[in-house]
């Protein structure tokens, strides 16, 4: 399912970061645990493999009764796949709840000191996009 069968005899040091990430996820899924803890499961993966991994985990959660707790820095991916989000800031909970309530431009601006646009995607879930800083309108020296 994760496209790693061809790597079964490979030494871990010869795998790319994304291949290693998928091998680690496959090992975790092979245990058939009822709870899956994931720390940045899509790091080092291209967008296609990110979707593949997140769809697989979401399907297992939805259809197989798996409980998933994951950390994600990709706010759009978190908003697309999580039922509930907890946004942490300096070790404290800054917000918790449904993605639409947590992923707001104002809150993201406060927590990350970032200018973003948050729009609702076709599926009704939030999509977060960074915005370039406004050009300096002051005098230049």
pLDDT digits (tens, 9 = 90+) for 9-61: 787 778 777 777 778 778 887 888 889 999 998 888 889 888 888 888 898 88
More confident residue, 5 or 42: 42
Q: What local confidence, expressed as pLDDT, does residue 94 receive?
A: 96
pLDDT for 60 equals 83
On the question of pLDDT at 139 being above 70, the answer is no
Give the domain ranges of the chain. Answer: 1-71, 74-132
Measured CA to CA, the distance from residue 67 to residue 99 in angstroms comes to 17
Token pair recorded at residue 107? 């809150």
Q: What are phi and psi of 98, to 5 degrees?
A: -60, 155
Structure-model confidence comparison of residues 122 and 135, the more confident one: 122
- The pair of three-digit structure tokens given for residue 128, joined into one six-digit string: 């977060």
Per-residue confidence (pLDDT) for residue 59, from 0 to 100: 86
- Residue by residue, DSSP assigns 122-138 as TTS-EEEEE-PPPPP-S
**CATH no. for 1-71:** 3.40.50.300
| pLDDT beyond 70 at 81 | yes
Three-state DSSP state, 18: helix
Residue 119 corresponds to which tokens in the numbers above?
Answer: 């729009």
Q: Is-above-0.85 flag for pTM? A: no
Would you say residue 63 has pLDDT above 90? no
């Amino acid at each position: 399912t994760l496209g790693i069968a061809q790597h079964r005899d490979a030494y871990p040091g010869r795998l790319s970061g994304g291949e290693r990430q998928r091998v680690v996820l496959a090992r975790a899924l092979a245990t058939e645990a009822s709870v899956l803890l994931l720390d940045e499961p899509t790091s080092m993966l291209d967008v296609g493999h990110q979707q593949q991994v997140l769809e697989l985990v979401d399907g297992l959660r939805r259809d197989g009764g798996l409980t998933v707790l994951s950390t994600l820095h990709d706010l759009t991916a978190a908003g697309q796949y999580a039922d509930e989000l907890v946004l942490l800031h300096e070790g404290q909970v800054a917000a918790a709840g449904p993605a639409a309530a947590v992923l707001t431009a104002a809150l993201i601006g406060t927590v990350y000191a970032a200018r973003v646009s948050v729009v609702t995607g076709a599926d009704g879930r939030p999509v977060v996009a960074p915005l370039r800083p406004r050009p300096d309108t002051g005098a230049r020296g």
